[in-house]
Amino acid sequence: MPLSMLFFICFALGYLGYRFHMLTKSGALLTVLVGGVVVYAFGYQGLLVLLLFFGSSSLLSKFGKARKQTVDQIVEKDGARDGWQVLANGGTALIASVAVLLTNEFDYLLLFLIVIAASNADTWASEIGPLSRKEPISIRTLRPVRRGTSGGISVLGTSATIAGALFIATAGDVLFDLTIKEWFLVAAGGVLGSILDTLLGGTVQRKYRCQVCGKETEKRVHHQETTEFVRGFKWLGNDAVNYLSSTTAGLVGFILYRLW
């Protein structure tokens, strides 16, 4: 497929994402930027990996939407993805793409795939986990917490994490003909990234308490009232946690591959 056609597809995806309220203006612009650089570095295969990630995430967000309404009251951002959310999931993938263009080293392809696998694993857990019949357990207190709470773990959510990582690892294998070792690193890195996200989300991510209903939330405004900061680092929001966890997992896999 001609490169110009791939760039056009990236533009079309950003535009359609905005028109169908899946992306904000900033989210659409960053999607086009990330997609364009990834396409230039990895061709249609890289674009397909991004499509599988964003496409499956968007579909899963619609699945069981009625049962996940309470989750929207907890998470920092709901609705259309903005530019920060796109960068949180694709920022390091963008850097890996530039590195490939500059060095032509295969190692950066693995970094790209691991970061996407980690983001996909975490997203699948976030979208499927809240559908569990049992309340998740807080990784910090080991007590039940509301569905959608950062740092909460459940059997269903953990299964979704593994499935999400395997999904991208297998897609990477089909598209880039990975070895067993490379496939394993991508899959393991994806699971690691999601685990790190849960750890950071449950321990150091900023949390607030609603002064109306008294419940803990990630939102700064709840029930039209400013919430009260209760714990975590004020500068560490959900986007930063997503970026740090996926990037850390990617770097661990990148280093192991070079040492292995």
- Counting residues of the chain whose pLDDT is more than 90, the rounded percentage is 56
Mean pLDDT across the chain:
89
Place of tokens 């700064």: 220
* Top mean-pLDDT range of 16-30, 72-86, 163-177, 216-230: 163-177
> What mean pLDDT comes out for the span 67-79?
64
Q: Which among 150, 52, 148, 151 has a CA at the least distance from the CA of 93?
A: 52
User: What is the pLDDT, as a whole number, of residue 162?
Assistant: 97
How many folded domains does the chain comprise? 1
User: What is the pLDDT, as a whole number, of residue 57?
Assistant: 85
- Asked if pLDDT for residue 78 goes beyond 70, the answer is no
> What mean pLDDT comes out for the span 126-144?
87
- Asked if pLDDT for residue 30 goes beyond 80, the answer is yes
Rounded Cα distance, 139 and 116, in Å: 24
Domain around 206: 3-259
Least confident of 32-41, 115-124, 161-170, 223-232: 223-232
Would the pTM count as exceeding 0.85? yes
Least confident of 9-18, 194-203, 244-253: 9-18
- Asked if pLDDT for residue 67 goes beyond 70, the answer is no
- Asked if pLDDT for residue 210 goes beyond 80, the answer is yes
Residue 130 or 52, more confident: 52
User: What is the pLDDT, as a whole number, of residue 69?
Assistant: 61
> What mean pLDDT comes out for the span 106-119?
96
Do 205 and 149 form a contact (C-beta atoms < 8 A)? Answer: no
- Asked if pLDDT for residue 105 goes beyond 80, the answer is yes
